[in-house]
Amino acid sequence: MLIVTSLLAGLVFGLGLIVSGMANPAKVLGFLDLGGAWDPSLAFVMAGAIALGLVAFSFAKKRSTSLIGAEMKLPAARRIDRRLLIGSALFGAGWGIAGICPGPGLVDLGMGETKALVFVAAMLAGMAVFEIAEKRRHADKSPH
């Protein structure tokens, strides 16, 4: 069941990225370019998404299982720490270079864009670097 609901959610998410213009990196850069001719459209994407999200999450927060009986796994982390801030800063810089964040990268890949393939491959490599670094970090902490 989780597979079907995940597939559907991914599909609806992707359609939203296409309809909204988020899947077009040039459009995203138009939004991020405050110093040039600014295109405020993407603020409306966030507004639309959060309007529905607020309702869904206020409902979800009161539940211990999902509507199909899956475990509710909302993030427990509360601390605003260095990892959060440095990671977000690196992400923002990468987003600003090409105008592509993870979702649109995958959608553009589905459109057969060769350049999206390069971006997604590099993104996966970056994620793999993170996994390796995390493993090292945990290995260093464990007793030898």
Partner 1 sequence: MSIDWNAFTPWPALLGGLLIGLAAAMFVLLNGRIAGISGILGGLLQPAPGDASWRAAFILGLVGSPLVYALFATLPAVQIDAGFGALTAAGLLVGIGTRYGSGCTSGHGVCGLSRLSPRSLAATVVFMGCGFLTVYALRHLFAA
Site for partner 1 in 48-87 (CB under 8 A): 48-57, 59-61, 65-68, 70-75, 77-80, 83-87
Which of 99, 94, 141, 96 lies closest to 122, judged by CA?
A: 94
Q: Cα separation of 127 and 106, whole Å?
A: 14
Q: Cβ(38)–Cβ(44) under 8 Å?
A: no
Written as six digits, the tokens of 94 are 């990468």
Q: Residue 136 interacts with partner 1 (CB under 8 A)?
A: no
For partner 1, which residue of 62, 121, 137, 143 counts as binding (CB under 8 A)?
121
User: What Å distances lie between residue 127 and 53, 70, 101, 131, CA to CA?
Assistant: 27, 27, 13, 6
84 vs 136 by CB, closer to partner 1: 84
Q: Residue 38 interacts with partner 1 (CB under 8 A)?
A: yes
Minimum separation from the CB atom of position 41 to partner 1 (A): 4
- Give the binding-site size for partner 1 (rule: CB under 8 A): 116
Minimum separation from the CB atom of position 135 to partner 1 (A): 9
Q: Residue 6 interacts with partner 1 (CB under 8 A)?
A: yes
Q: Cα separation of 41 and 31, whole Å?
A: 7
